Amino acid sequence: MPKAYPAEFRARAVAVVRAGKSVRWTALELEISESCLHSWIKQDRIDHGERPGLSSTEHADLVTAKRRIRQLETELEVLREASKIYEELKGDPKGHSR
């Protein structure tokens, strides 16, 4: 798994490149890969409306929504199974299955 850098560190790295330093120089100085820095710059441009794509906030919202959907689907499946069991038991007043 890639190393997670704090948001402040990423923002400072992007700011250095925006101020005119090369990606290569900045990556070497900060001891990060150029590809990592390029991806931060790309996301920064999206976040600032300079290129199309999902902003960081939209991406986070989408991840949260997908997680919630998975949770709700699981809960729905549990309720469906419970409903089946209930219907089976309801048919026999003593609670015995047929």
The tokens describing 25, both together, are 């120089």
- Answering whether pTM is above 0.75, one says no
Q: Which amino acid is at 95?
A: G
With beta carbons less than 8 A apart as the criterion, state whether 34 and 28 touch. no
pLDDT tens digit at each of 98 positions of the chain:
667 899 999 999 999 999 999 999 999 999 999 999 999 999 999 999 999 999 999 999 999 999 999 999 999 999 999 999 999 998 866 656 55
Residue whose pair of structure tokens reads 């790295």 in the numeric block:
13
